[in-house]
Amino acid sequence: MDTKGWVVLGSIVVIGIMMSFGSYGPARALAKAIQSALDAIARQPEAASHITRTFIIGVAIIESIVIYLFVIALILLFANPLLDFLK
């Protein structure tokens, strides 16, 4: 296997590791946010609309982390900037 093949193989392995570890943290944060929101709504049902609005904003911020990670993985997979250095 030539150098370009090793770089592509290494990029694919790093993308797999990045997606697995990078998705774990936001998934845990999302589970904790859901748990906290449901607990708060159970304690104060009259504040459910305010809690839900805040929860949705928080979930959007948590999900944006995963979206950024996915975009970086796609860039490394299809437009790998490391391959330019091999020429």
Q: What is the pTM of this model?
A: 0.74
33 touches 55 (CB < 8 A): yes
pLDDT in tens, 20-55: 998 999 999 999 999 999 999 999 999 999 999 999
Determine the CATH number of domain 25-80. Answer: 1.20.20.10
- Taking alpha carbons only, the member of 13, 4, 28 closest to residue 73 is 13
pLDDT in tens, 48-69: 999 999 999 999 999 999 999 9
- Domain coordinates of the chain in residue numbers? 25-80
Across 9-34, b (16+ Cβ under 10 Å) vs e yields eebeeebeeeeeebeeebeebbeebe
